[in-house]
Amino acid sequence: MDTPLIDPFARAITYLRVSVTDRCDFRCVYCMSENMTFLPKKELLTLEELDRLCSNFIRLGVEKLRITGGEPLVRRGIMSFFDAMSRHLDSGALKELTVTTNGSQLAKYADDLFAAGVRRINVSLDTLDDDKFAAITRWGRLPQVQRGIDAAQRAGLRVKINTVALSGFNEDELFTLQSWCAERDMDLTFIEVMPMGDIGNEDRITQYWSLKDLRQRLEERFTVTDLAERTGGPARYIRLEETGQKIGLITPLSHNFCESCNRVRITCTGQIYTCLGQEGHSDLRAPLRASDDDSHLQTAIRHAIGLKPKGHDFDYSRQTASGQVSRHMSHTGG
């Protein structure tokens, strides 16, 4: 293996998140505006280019690959990409291939994902109320997602539910979501809403629900123990002793997690963002398309990693969305 990727703060980069499309069949209110203008298809990397790019990162030491969007499973022909990536699982170079999805297409693709070597998936789900789900996603329908989750579990995929903590929206469902996941033996992670992109009339400050408060509510009902476990992502984990349930907390605002960051993100256009909460990025599409010689691409990758900042600047403490970045989460990848 070539010399691994080490950033300026001595963090080894072993986790790559790749957005394969900015398109989505939902319009979640904290993620994008209802009337989105999506990228022209000619600007997107082809599936073959995504394969080459990911393969070079794996050659440079990336061991975990997460496929995101938008909604990754709406990209035409996407299963051919998953099938191609499975060769790196077979060789042992890649330890995990996984996907973050809204669940809308899982009934169609769950078996194929398992056949390609995917063993864990994250499903974004913020409420178990039909009407609230339709409101928060604008275009989504809860029964379709529930059928997808059923299909994923039948296929043998380990499902983790990702829930964005939203003030005034799902605070009253904390224990409903917790018990539902426990009954179905699904992991659950809560995420603080992040100030990314213009989302129309939605107010970031009123959306924000600190996970410090969420944890305090859990402690009123359960004995909560901190766990040392890490899975390569930003989540810190707690265990509810009475149920044995593990719950993840992703706290970019109430508790900065940057000191252990081992990941970078690539957009569907080949831009690499070495920090989710910073505007700085580098272009990998140009060197990818300029030459078939991977050494030029790897030089560009190493240069980008050399610019990785120490951390992000997200902050709501002054009742303003400080550190807000202009791009939508759907462009960068969740």
Residue 174 belongs to a domain:
no
Residue 168 belongs to a domain:
no
Question: Would the annotation count 17 as a binding residue?
Answer: yes
Q: Which residue has the higher pLDDT, 206 or 321?
A: 206
Residue 204 belongs to a domain:
no
State the pLDDT at residue 316: 43
Question: Would the annotation count 54 as a binding residue?
Answer: no
Question: Would the annotation count 275 as a binding residue?
Answer: yes
124: region left, alpha or beta (phi > 0 left; psi from -120 to 50 alpha): beta
State the pLDDT at residue 230: 75
Q: Which residue has the higher pLDDT, 93 or 323?
A: 93
CA distance 124 to 28: 10
State the pLDDT at residue 322: 47
290-320 confidence digits (pLDDT tens) = 999 999 999 999 999 999 977 655 444 444 4
Residue 218 belongs to a domain:
no
Residue 129 belongs to a domain:
yes
Question: Would the annotation count 159 as a binding residue?
Answer: no
Task: Supply the range of the domain harboring residue 100.
Answer: 15-160+259-332
CATH of the domain at 83: 3.20.20.70
Question: Would the annotation count 181 as a binding residue?
Answer: no
Question: Would the annotation count 52 as a binding residue?
Answer: no
Question: Would the annotation count 141 as a binding residue?
Answer: no
Q: What is the mean pLDDT of residues 45-55?
A: 98
Q: How confident is the model at residue 234 (pLDDT cuts 50, 70, 90)?
A: confident
Which pairs from 285-290 meet CB under 8 Å and 24+ separation?
A: 285/45, 285/49, 288/45, 288/49, 288/52, 288/53, 289/49
180-198 confidence digits (pLDDT tens) = 999 999 999 999 986 644 5
Backbone phi, psi, residue 218, to 5°: -60, -40
Residue 196 belongs to a domain:
no
Q: By percentage, how much of the chain surpasses pLDDT 70?
A: 84
CB of 232 closer than 8 Å to CB of 94:
no
107-159 confidence digits (pLDDT tens) = 999 999 999 999 999 999 999 999 999 999 999 999 999 999 999 999 999 99
Residue 127 belongs to a domain:
yes
Structure pTM? 0.87
Question: Would the annotation count 100 as a binding residue?
Answer: yes
State the pLDDT at residue 174: 97
Q: Which residue has the higher pLDDT, 33 or 106?
A: 106
Question: Would the annotation count 261 as a binding residue?
Answer: yes
Q: Which residue has the higher pLDDT, 202 or 241?
A: 241
Hey, what's the torsion of the CAs at 194, 197, 203, 209, to 10 degrees? -10
Question: Would the annotation count 217 as a binding residue?
Answer: no
Q: How confident is the model at residue 331 (pLDDT cuts 50, 70, 90)?
A: low
Q: What is the mean pLDDT of residues 58-64?
A: 97
237-290 confidence digits (pLDDT tens) = 999 999 999 999 998 764 455 666 888 999 999 999 988 766 689 999 999 999
Q: What is the mean pLDDT of residues 1-9?
A: 84
Question: Would the annotation count 3 as a binding residue?
Answer: no
State the pLDDT at residue 77: 97
Question: Would the annotation count 66 as a binding residue?
Answer: yes
Provide the number of structural domains found in the chain: 1
Question: Would the annotation count 28 as a binding residue?
Answer: yes
Q: How confident is the model at residue 45 (pLDDT cuts 50, 70, 90)?
A: very high
Q: What is the mean pLDDT of the chain?
A: 88
Residue 139 belongs to a domain:
yes
Question: Would the annotation count 124 as a binding residue?
Answer: yes
